[in-house]
Amino acid sequence: MAVKKILRYGEKSLREPSKEVHKVSKKIHELVQDLLDTMYASNGVGLAAPQIGVNYRVFVIDTSTNEEPLNPIVFINPKIVKKSGACKSQEGCLSFPEAYTNVRRYKNVTVKALDINGRPFTIEAKDGTLQARAIQHENDHLDGILFIDHCINRFDANNELAKFNLPPVEEDKLLEETELENELNND
């Protein structure tokens, strides 16, 4: 299909909740192909529809490494149904070119979604793997949540954002993650 322009942090639609997909139509197939083309062209690990200006509950990930064949996974109307454990990781986002900061994530997640053919599937991602973190990151985009909302230190995050001429963390969007914080402090 096509490589699309990725919206940058500060664009209003990145903060808007996305709509459910009612039918996996030709339009959704084209959207998925655009997401994959754009993600691969940008050397990304994942990309959500809102990042290309389409507020539908669709995202793609591919956590394969250089030595492995491409392994894209399509998530339509995903729902994280189980989460446990906590991990800290350094994250970035294609909507925040080159900016990275430490965030809190669940170590283990189970997600249910529809695939490109509209068939339901479940994935369990464990041990704080890239797949587990990518699923949470992209799923957040569908609810207008950005990775910096999970930042461990907003001052560090703001310094990083400033280096790349990006707006500062929106303090009213910071997530209170007491459960994750407590678990990380007990490790």
Per-residue pLDDT of the chain (187 residues; tens, 9 = 90+): 699 999 999 999 999 999 999 999 999 999 999 999 999 999 999 999 999 999 999 999 999 988 889 999 999 999 999 999 999 999 999 999 999 999 999 999 999 999 999 999 999 999 999 999 999 999 999 999 999 999 999 999 999 999 999 999 999 999 998 888 888 887 6
Q: Domain count of the chain?
A: 1
Q: How many CB atoms lie within 10 A of CB 91?
A: 21
- Tell me if 49 is assigned to some domain: yes
> In Å, how far are 25, 29, 36, 108 from 123, measured between CA atoms?
23, 21, 19, 11
Residues known to be catalytic? 138
Which residue is listed with tokens 């994280």? Answer: 80
- Tell me if 175 is assigned to some domain: yes
Q: What is the pTM of this model?
A: 0.95
**Domain coverage including residue 134:** 12-186
CATH number at residue 82: 3.90.45.10
What is the enclosing helix (H) or strand (E) of 83? strand 73-84
| Cβ burial 29-63 (10 Å sphere, 16+ → b, else e) | eebbebbbebbeeeebbbbbbbbbebbbbbbbbbb
> In Å, how far are 23, 33, 117, 126 from 136, measured between CA atoms?
24, 21, 22, 12
